[in-house]
C-alpha cells in the first residue's frame, strides 16, 4: 500500500520584535533617571554637589550626560523607524521612503542580480549609516571620564597647594586646616565618582543602540539573500 507523501511545511520565520520596543525601553530608563534626579533634589544632594565642587566640573558632567541621554532617545526613535521599515518589507509592503533600510533595498533592486561587489558596497554603506552616529556618542562617553579625571587633578592640585603653604603647625587651627585640605580631596573624589557613574549609564544606552543597529543590519542582509529574490523573480519574468 502506497502511503501519501506528507505535505511540505514551510519553515516559519520568527516573529519580529515590535518596532518601538527600543524607544519604550529608553522612556522607561529616562523615567528612572528623572525619578532619581527628583529624589536627589528632595534630599538636597544637588545643592551639596554645587557647594562641594566650586570648579563646576561635576555639573558640567551632569549636563553632558543629560544632553547625551536626550540624543540617545532621538537615536532610539530613528532606529525604531528603521525597524518599522524592515517589518514593512517583510510583509511585502514598501518601507518608509526616508529610511536607510528602504534605500538599501531599493538600491539592491536597481542593481544587476549577480553584481556581488555592488551588494557588498551597499551593505557597507548601510552599516555606516546605522552605526556611524553612535561613534560621536562613544566619544562623548569618554569625555565624561576625562572630565572626572580633570577634576581629580584639580582637586589634588588644590590639596598640594594648601599643604605647601603650611609653614608651621598650630594645634588650635586643626579644624580649619582639615577643612581646607579636605576641600581639594572632595573635589577630586566627587568629580571622579560622578564621571564614572555617568560613563556607565550612558554606555548602557549606547550599547543598547549598537545592539539594535547590529540586529537591523543582520536582518536586512538576511532579507536581501532570502526575501528579495522572491521580488526579483517576477521582474525577471516580465523582462523576458
Q: What is the pLDDT of residues 182-213, one digit of tens each?
A: 777 888 888 999 999 999 999 999 999 999 99
Contacts of range 116-120, beta carbons closer than 8 Å, 24 or more positions apart: 119/224
Given a cut of 50, is residue 12 above it in pLDDT?
A: no
Kindly report, residue by residue over 98-134, the tens digit of the pLDDT.
788 888 888 887 776 566 677 778 888 888 888 888 8
* End-to-end Cα separation, the chain, in angstroms: 45
Q: Say what the pLDDT of residue 48 is.
A: 86
32 domain-assigned: no
Secondary structure of residue 216 in the 3-state scheme? helix
15 domain-assigned: no
Q: What band does 232 get if pLDDT is binned at 50, 70 and 90?
A: low
Q: How many residues does the chain have?
A: 240
Give the chain's domain count. Answer: 1
226 domain-assigned: yes
40 domain-assigned: no
How far is Cα of residue 187 from the mean position of the Cα atoms in its chain? 29
Kindly report, residue by residue over 18-70, the tens digit of the pLDDT.
667 889 999 999 999 999 999 999 998 888 888 888 888 999 999 999 999 99
Q: Say what the pLDDT of residue 50 is.
A: 85
Q: Say what the pLDDT of residue 75 is.
A: 92
164 domain-assigned: yes
Rounded Cα–Cα distance for residues 28 and 175 (Å): 46
The three three-digit cell numbers of residue 191, written as one number: 568629580
180 domain-assigned: yes
Rounded Cα–Cα distance for residues 43 and 81 (Å): 40
Q: What is the mean pLDDT of residues 208-230?
A: 84
With b for 16 or more beta-carbon neighbours within 10 A and e for fewer, the 58-84 pattern comes to bebbbebbeebbebbeebbebbbbbbb
Query: Rounded to two decimals, what is the model's pTM?
Result: 0.79
Q: What band does 9 get if pLDDT is binned at 50, 70 and 90?
A: very low
The three three-digit cell numbers of residue 35, written as one number: 525619578
9 domain-assigned: no
21 domain-assigned: no
Q: Which domain holds residue 69?
A: 46-234
Amino acid at each position: 500500500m502506497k502511503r501519501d507523501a506528507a505535505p511540505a511545511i514551510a519553515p516559519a520565520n520568527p516573529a519580529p520584535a515590535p518596532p518601538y520596543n527600543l524607544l519604550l525601553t529608553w522612556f522607561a530608563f529616562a523615567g528612572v533617571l528623572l525619578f532619581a534626579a527628583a529624589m536627589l533634589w528632595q534630599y538636597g544632594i544637588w545643592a551639596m554637589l554645587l557647594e562641594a565642587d566650586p570648579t563646576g566640573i561635576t555639573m558640567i558632567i551632569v549636563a553632558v550626560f543629560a544632553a547625551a541621554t536626550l540624543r540617545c532617545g532621538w537615536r532610539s526613535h530613528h532606529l525604531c523607524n528603521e525597524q518599522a521599515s524592515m517589518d514593512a518589507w517583510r510583509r511585502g509592503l514598501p518601507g518608509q521612503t526616508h529610511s536607510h533600510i528602504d534605500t538599501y533595498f531599493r538600491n539592491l533592486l536597481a542593481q544587476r542580480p549577480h553584481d556581488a561587489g555592488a551588494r557588498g558596497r551597499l551593505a557597507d554603506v548601510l552599516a555606516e549609516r546605522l552605526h556611524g552616529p553612535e561613534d560621536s556618542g562613544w566619544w562623548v562617553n569618554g569625555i565624561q571620564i576625562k572630565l572626572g579625571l580633570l577634576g581629580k587633578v584639580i582637586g589634588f592640585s588644590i590639596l598640594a597647594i594648601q599643604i605647601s603653604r603650611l609653614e608651621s603647625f598650630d594645634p588650635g587651627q586643626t579644624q580649619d586646616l582639615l577643612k581646607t585640605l579636605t576641600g581639594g580631596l572632595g573635589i577630586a573624589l566627587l568629580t571622579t565618582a560622578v564621571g564614572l557613574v555617568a560613563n556607565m549609564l550612558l554606555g548602557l544606552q549606547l550599547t543598547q543602540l549598537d545592539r539594535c543597529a547590529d540586529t537591523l543590519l543582520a536582518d536586512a542582509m538576511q532579507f536581501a539573500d532570502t526575501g528579495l529574490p522572491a521580488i526579483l523573480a517576477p521582474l525577471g519574468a516580465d523582462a523576458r
